[in-house]
Amino acid sequence: ESELVGIEVDILEQFKIWLSKNKGIAINFEYNIEEEFDGLLENVSAGTGNEMGIGGITISEKRKATMDFCAPYMRNVSVLVSSGHVNTARTENDLRNLLREMQAYTVKGSVH
């Protein structure tokens, strides 16, 4: 079984260390991997109070109605990446022309 990695896991693991050192509180996390993003949100919303979702979750009014959020820890910045062989698009028309002949790749199950 592989170990989870990423900024959210790092934040939680450092929080666990901080709680122990500064407050004398020992906690453990049980990480459950969701295959679908909606499943993650549904499980947090339906939880008993001991669940949290970690990942790139945008705060929206609809989501705030069913769950609580911490303060944002990073800006949600989306970018397009390409090989260095692609010209820079400077206008919307440039971008349209460049993208016409490109192949798009996404993370399975992601909306990004």
pLDDT digits (tens, 9 = 90+) for 19-61: 999 999 999 988 888 888 888 899 888 888 788 888 888 888 9
- Is the pTM for the entire model greater than 0.75? no
CA distance 71 to 59: 10
Q: Which long-range contacts (CB under 8 A, 24 or more apart) does 103-109 make?
A: 109/35, 109/36, 109/37
CA distance 90 to 112: 22
Per-residue pLDDT tens over the stretch 76-92:
666 667 777 778 888 88
The strand ranges marked E within the chain are none
Pick from 63, 42, 52: which is nearest to 16 by CA? Answer: 52
